Amino acid sequence: MKSTLRLVATFFLFHILLCSTPSPAYAAGGGGQWQLLQKSIGIVSMHMQLLSNDRVVIYDRTDFGRSNLSLPNGRCRENPAELAVQVDCTAHSVEYDVASNTFRALFVHTDVWCSSGAVAPDGRLIQTGGFNDGDRAVRIYEPCHNCDWEEVGSVLGASRWYATNHILPDGRQIIMGGRLEFNYEFYPKTAAAKQVYTLPFLAQTTEQQGVENNLYPFVFLNVDGNLFIFANNRSILFDYNNNRVVREYPVIPGGDPRTYPSTGSAVLLPFKNLQAPNVEAEVLLCGGAPRGAFQNAIGTRSFVGALNTCGRLKITDPNPQWVMENMPGPRVMGDMLLLPNGNVLILNGGAVGTAGWELGRNPVMNPFLYRPNNPIKSRFELQNPNRIPRMYHSTAILLRDGRVLVGGSNPHFGYSFSNVLFPTELSLEAFSPSYLDARFASVRPKIVAPKSPSELKYAQKLKVQFLVTGSVVSDLVSVTMFAPPFNTHSFSMSQRILVVGTGNVANLGKSTYEIEVTTPGSGILAPPGYYLLFVVHQEIPSEGIWVHLI
């Protein structure tokens, strides 16, 4: 009787609490749909890159043990330097074909674990570093029908394990940091460039070994040609040509670390008004784990709540200050993706713990949508949840059709499918943001010209023609160009989106419209390479077309 009363009382109290809670600053139960694409691709999607043939290169690590996918034709990888299985007849990389929802095994020889990469201007994925015999290796993957990895050799000047790459205006890529490496280098190598350049900022922001809190630094190419680099709780603007720190930004409020293993994520918000004399650049950084989270987790096995804050910093401002915002909830190991309409999707990860083996808890199943142009406190919208936890070693990337490909999760030292918290995930899912809902069919643009793929030059006038079956609000039409990033460990390297034109839409009749845009003026705004071009109408994007800006 007593316990029943207590139950009833608790129930009423719960109700009162619920009803008296002020309505949250975000709409609950927003939208979006989840779809399971593949129950198993045989490997963990730990690293992902979309290529210009709509195929995604995925890999995990050669020293995970035997994967669930055999190499074709009885092929085996014999590598005496390998730490796990010296004769391994299983694959550790796949190519996923978006259109047919199929995949095939790829062959990678040296260890690619916790490596990095960027797509070269010609569309080839240049992947650098890793672990063990692969820590100085460069490997190339060309997007063609039946291609496979090509090992260039051990050509890097330093060990690149947990480094960040970024594509540069001249088409080279910079490779920044890595474990115990307080330096950077470039690839391809040129006679003029040194093998390695030191960067004391990386030494200053590192903590004890294993808890560096500055690995996989967030690197962005700013509109002035310098690099914005965020590591731990600090950030600088860096002139990589002259190895000179141009300015130091304020420490992020709260002072908590945001980079690995206190893994948050970050994006460069869309570039707008590209014809203006001074284009503005703004960074948004969300989540992470508070100082001491990793030590607590490995020491006393106590798992602390992740950070629920985002910081927004106008990096081009003469007197930049972080503006802090609250997410709908805490998140560590989240991925931040730019969507074709310039909104930001935050997904994957957990609400408790940190990155690292067995150190994450409380998966966050609901993505958060962030609308950067809304007034502060009304920017977040909770999205529909999936059912598969995507913890440490999970990934997410935007596809050409506007869906988000989600894979991975393996917080264990090898493949581990039973009797563990968060078993190894070999599945692939797609998240369809609500802009793909059928109810927007009459608003959605369909690009009819130019054809995909198209070659574009810098500062070129380009007429984009599209169909819309309903009525068109000219001012609410824009054209965006998106650089597909290399994603691993919650960071999307070289990710950027540019609004290349807005409004002034001409009606050509028969539901066909035309907007004239100007491509970006320089490789500083948009490094050369393949972009996805979208027409966006009332926040609803078309399917993208591939354009090659060179």
**Cα(549)–Cα(123) distance, rounded to whole angstroms?**
11
Residue 489 and residue 122 in contact, taking contact as beta carbons nearer than 8 Å = no
Quote the least distance from Cβ 180 to ligand NAG, whole Å.
Answer: 16
* Dihedral sign for Cα atoms in the order 180, 182, 183, 184: positive
Q: What is the DSSP letter of 260?
A: B
Task: Find the shortest distance in angstroms from Cβ 68 to ligand NAG.
Answer: 4
Q: Which is nearer to ligand NAG, 104 or 371 (CB)?
A: 104
Specify the residue for token string 């030059």: 457
| Least separation in angstroms between CB 48 and ligand NAG | 18
* Burial readout 168-193 (b: 16 or more C-beta within 10 A, e: otherwise): beeebbbbbbbbebbbbbbbeeeeee
Q: What is the 3-state secondary structure (H, E, C) of 67-111?
A: CCCECHHHCCEECCCCCCCCEECECCEEEEECCCCEEEEECCCCC
**CA-CA distance, 306 to 362, in Å (whole number)?**
10
Direct distance between the N- and C-terminal alpha carbons of the chain, in angstroms, rounded to an integer: 77
Strand, helix or coil at 428? strand
Q: How far is the CB of 374 from ligand NAG (least distance, A)?
A: 29
| Tokens at 387, concatenated | 């059912």
* Closer residue to ligand NAG, CB minimum distance, 40 or 275: 40
Q: How far is the CB of 152 from ligand NAG (least distance, A)?
A: 32
Least distance CB 252 / ligand NAG (angstroms) = 8
Taking the least distance from each CB to ligand NAG, the nearer of 269 and 283 is 283
Q: How far is the CB of 417 from ligand NAG (least distance, A)?
A: 5
Residue whose CB is nearest to ligand NAG in the complex, by number? 255
User: What does the alpha-carbon distance between residue 185 and residue 521 come to, in Å, rounded to a whole number?
Assistant: 27
Q: Which of 426, 443, 500, 532 binds ligand NAG (CB under 6 A)?
A: 426
44 vs 268, which CB is nearer to ligand NAG? 44
Q: How many residues bind ligand NAG (CB under 6 A)?
A: 10
Output the smallest distance, CB 226 to ligand NAG, in A: 22
Considering only residues 29 through 58, tell me which ones interact with ligand NAG, judged by CB under 6 A. Answer: 40
Quote the strand ranges of 232-281, DSSP E: 234-239, 244-248, 265-268
Rounded to whole angstroms, how far apart are CA atoms 79 and 548? Answer: 38
User: CB under 8 Å to 432, separation ≥6 — which residues?
Assistant: 32, 33, 34, 35, 402, 403, 404
Minimum CB distance to ligand NAG, residue 212 (Å): 9
DSSP 42: S
245-274 footprint of ligand NAG as x/- string (CB under 6 A)? ------x---x-------------------
Assess whether the previous peptide bond of 188 is cis (omega < 30° from 0): yes
105 lies in the binding site for ligand NAG (CB under 6 A): no
* Residues 399-418 interacting with ligand NAG (rule: CB under 6 A): 417
Whole-angstrom Cα distance, residue 257 to residue 276?
A: 35
Residue 68 found at the interface with ligand NAG (CB under 6 A) = yes
Nearer to ligand NAG, 388 or 498 (CB): 388
Residue of 49, 226, 233, 262 that binds ligand NAG (CB under 6 A) = 233
Residue 429 CB, nearest distance to ligand NAG (Å)? 14
Between residues 68 and 295, which has the closer beta carbon with respect to ligand NAG?
A: 68
Closest separation in Å from C-beta 426 to ligand NAG: 4
Closer residue to ligand NAG, CB minimum distance, 14 or 417 = 417
Is the CB of residue 60 less than 8 Å from the CB of residue 44? Answer: yes
CB–CB of 543/399 below 8 Å? no
Extract the tokens encoding 369: 């949508």
Residue 44 or 498 having the CB closest to ligand NAG: 44
Q: Please, what is the minimum distance in Å from the beta carbon of residue 214 to ligand NAG?
A: 8
Nearer to ligand NAG, 219 or 428 (CB): 428
Nearer to ligand NAG, 11 or 417 (CB): 417
User: Which listed residue (207, 401, 437, 514) binds ligand NAG by CB under 6 A?
Assistant: 207
Is position 321 an interface residue for ligand NAG (rule: CB under 6 A)?
A: no
Looking at the Cβ atoms of 178 and 328, the one nearer to ligand NAG is 178
Of residues 434 through 493, those in contact with ligand NAG by CB under 6 A are: none
Nearer to ligand NAG, 226 or 232 (CB): 232
Cβ closest to ligand NAG, residue 228 vs residue 230: 230
What's the min distance (Å) between Cβ of 486 and ligand NAG?
Answer: 25
Sign of the CA dihedral running 250, 252, 256, 261: negative
Helix (H, G, I), strand (E, B) or coil at 540: strand
Q: Of 232, 383, 386, 410, which lies in the binding site for ligand NAG, with binding defined by CB under 6 A? A: 232
Contacts of 214 (CB under 8 A, 6+ apart): 177, 202, 205, 206, 207, 231, 232, 257, 259, 260
Type and span of the H or E element at 456 = strand 454-456
Footprint on this chain of ligand NAG (rule: CB under 6 A): 40, 68, 205, 207, 232-233, 251, 255, 417, 426
